[in-house]
């Protein structure tokens, strides 16, 4: 027993010694450390401030990659159409639009499944909203419920971009993996398979009045590929 106690005391002493040594080597920050500008001649603080004023913030790697992707699209098949949209709406960027469209796709699917007509009304044109709202009303009247799980978006790409007057119209194709099931009131499956992931292709057209201060686009048409 006494041997064990002596070993513990010895280990504790070693631990204290190591902590002390680490503290002396690494040091402790007290909040009063001198900045790089504090070292050197008396006017170094002024030069440090001048250097800060002359700093140019370089774009991040992600921003440069975005710019490269946008430039590639501007040189692609729809390049002239994109340039026309940019002339009407200088904030338009193809890559950022696709990112936003992917987010809108997920939000619209979720709102439809949940019967959230308030959200749908903000994201859809009047005609498209009425189609969605009717489908929700019919589903609820039948006592049915739907489960639509978006597993992921495999691909999203531009099909068309054009300007009609001051209205910008952009059509995209979205290929996604989903699990779609429609349940009867008794819980039985009316349509779909809750154990099967299917590939769904949607073609959606978004629109925006380029004169509007509202930066949001609305879904004005949906269809399946021919």
What's the pLDDT tens digit per position in 109-130? 999 999 999 999 999 999 999 9
The CATH number corresponding to 61-223 among 3.10.450.240, 1.10.10.10, 3.40.50.300, 3.90.226.10 equals: 3.10.450.240
pLDDT value, residue 63 = 84
Predicted confidence (pLDDT) per residue in 137-154, tens digit: 999 999 999 999 999 999
Contact present, 133 and 108 (Cβ < 8 Å): no
Q: Which two tokens stand for residue 126?
A: 């009047």
pLDDT value, residue 169 = 98
pLDDT value, residue 13 = 43
pLDDT value, residue 28 = 35
pLDDT value, residue 22 = 36
pLDDT value, residue 61 = 79
Sites in the chain below the pLDDT cut of 70 = 1-59
pLDDT value, residue 225 = 86
Upper half-sphere CA count for residue 127 (Cβ side, 13 Å): 7
pLDDT value, residue 58 = 63
pLDDT value, residue 219 = 98
**Please, what's the b/e burial string for 19-47 (b: 16 or more CB within 10 A of its CB; e: otherwise)?**
eeeeeeeeeeeeeeeeeeeeeeeeeeeee
- Provide the 3-class DSSP secondary structure of residue 218: strand
Q: How many residues does the chain have?
A: 226
Q: Which of 76, 92, 95 is nearest to 84 (CA)?
A: 92
């Amino acid at each position: 027993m006494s041997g064990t106690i002596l070993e513990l005391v010895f280990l504790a002493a070693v631990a204290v010694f190591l902590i002390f040594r680490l503290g002396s080597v690494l040091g402790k920050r007290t909040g009063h450390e001198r900045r790089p500008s504090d070292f050197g001649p008396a006017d170094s603080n002024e030069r440090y401030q001048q250097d800060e004023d002359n700093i140019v913030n370089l774009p991040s790697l992600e921003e440069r990659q975005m710019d490269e992707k946008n430039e590639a699209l501007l040189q692609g098949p729809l390049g002239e159409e994109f340039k026309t949209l940019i002339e009407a709406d200088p904030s338009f960027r193809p890559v950022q639009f696709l990112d936003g469209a992917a987010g809108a796709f997920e939000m619209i699917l979720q709102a439809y499944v949940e019967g959230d007509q308030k959200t749908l009304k903000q994201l859809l044109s009047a005609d498209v909203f009425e189609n969605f709202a009717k489908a929700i009303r019919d589903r609820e009247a039948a006592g049915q419920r739907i489960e639509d799980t978006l597993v992921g978006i495999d691909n999203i790409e531009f099909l068309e971009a054009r300007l009609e007057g001051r209205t910008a119209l952009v059509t995209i194709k979205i290929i996604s993996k989903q699990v779609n099931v429609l349940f009867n009131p008794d819980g039985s499956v009316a349509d779909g398979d809750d154990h099967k992931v299917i590939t769904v292709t949607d073609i959606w057209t978004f629109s925006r009045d380029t004169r509007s201060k509202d930066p949001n686009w609305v879904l004005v048409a949906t269809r399946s590929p021919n």
